[in-house]
Structure 1
């Protein structure tokens, strides 16, 4: 009976998060999930990006691609990038779980291959929920199959950049140890992160590229 109650509670939380995420469904795109990293494998900083729902582009046309271009100009050290391999599909019940697994496994593997490498974790819309799961945000880790980052690797995260974050809308932030390393951007009127009424604002984040890049550069 206890297990049934826990299961129903987890399903309710999952339904609530996905209901919010549905507001952020973008255009359908064809992407190559086999593409993994680009730039130097052992660059000083690895920019790990979880894109938004059906977001086109390699790292994500709305956030990841323009942000990485800006970061390369702002960072005082070399940078590489990794595209989190997950469905980014709200119709796939395992989407968030697979995203957290891939992001966490990537950080673990890179930490073994490149011990001095630091990480900038980036998430947009559904991808922001993935980052929350990796960081250990309670409302997300309560869901089945979430893979948080091991505690001994948390110090390697130099900064966290979130855009159009649905977890922000329901009143949750990143765990305290990541608070000072996190910048969370929500466009005015964005219904996904701020409860606004203008869906077009969910893709209006060009203004945040340089503030986010300078924030990340200050944390390296």
Structure 2
């Protein structure tokens, strides 16, 4: 499947290049974790988004924010909440594992408080590692990956309606989402993306906001 990178200009391009170049080069960018959120209300769908390394934005400027917007536009007649996974999203060791723990803790708490709520998990770049770990697919050994710390309990698995993954680093080491979640997973790797596919086009890794509507349409068929 081929995807065409979006054209980005000016300061947006500079900022995005800085984010991913740092990841690719193993640089030292450190972004503080978002403050912990209060318990969310009981909506139909809770969109849990793990941003990429150093990525700004409420849910993630490149992927999470546009995908959440597309989900609300595409899936009619449902109420939504969103949760930004609280983790460093940096190249420091243990970052992805911290995200893994926070994601599972959030989904577990929400599932207990809201028995009818379903979940859509969104992960971009290192955030895809966070989602991978949370469903039991280890990202250890992948770029900005880490060992599994927790997995979503089996009793909650049927309530995870869709997984939307973009630039997933485990693909570069030959891993994919398999098993329970496979049919509910959209895992996009743009041609030339060096993070998930071993390519050399850094702009490909910045292109996934252009796939927001595709991801929303996929999720709409699963909720």
Both structures adopt the same fold (TM-score exceeding 0.5)? yes
Extract unaligned runs of 5+ from structure 1: 1-20
Alignment-derived partner of residue 74 in structure 1: 74
Alignment-derived partner of residue 110 in structure 2: 110
Extract unaligned runs of 5+ from structure 2: 1-21
Structure 1 position 215 matched with structure 2 position 218: yes
Q: Is the 8 A contact 1:121 1:157 kept in 2?
A: yes
Note the alpha carbon deviations across 1:10-69, whole angstroms, 9 max, x for none: xxxxxxxxxxx932879968666116379x621100000000001011100000011101
Greater helix share, structure number: 1
Q: Is the 8 A contact 1:37 1:83 kept in 2?
A: no
How many Å apart are 1:197 and its aligned residue?
A: 0.6
Q: Is the 8 A contact 1:84 1:103 kept in 2?
A: yes
How many Å apart are 1:207 and its aligned residue?
A: 2.4
How many Å apart are 1:206 and its aligned residue?
A: 2.7
Matches within 5 A, 1:94-133: 94-133=94-133
Residues paired across the two proteins, number: 198
How many Å apart are 1:132 and its aligned residue?
A: 0.3
CA–CA distance in 2 between the matches of 1:183 and 1:63?
Answer: 14
Q: Is the 8 A contact 1:26 1:55 kept in 2?
A: no
Distance 1:70 1:108, change over 3 A: same
Note the alpha carbon deviations across 1:78-131, whole angstroms, 9 max, x for none: 11100000001112x121111011000000100111010000011000000010
Alignment-derived partner of residue 168 in structure 1: 171
Q: Is the 8 A contact 1:31 1:56 kept in 2?
A: no
CA–CA distance in 2 between the matches of 1:199 and 1:60?
Answer: 18
- Alignment partner for residue 187 of structure 1, among 190, 194, 208? 190
CA–CA distance in 2 between the matches of 1:70 and 1:27?
Answer: 32
Alignment-derived partner of residue 33 in structure 1: 34
CA–CA distance in 2 between the matches of 1:134 and 1:43?
Answer: 22
Distance 1:138 1:31, change over 3 A: closer
Distance 1:32 1:190, change over 3 A: same
CA–CA distance in 2 between the matches of 1:134 and 1:50?
Answer: 11
CA–CA distance in 2 between the matches of 1:59 and 1:164?
Answer: 16
Residue 158 of structure 1: SS of its match in structure 2? strand
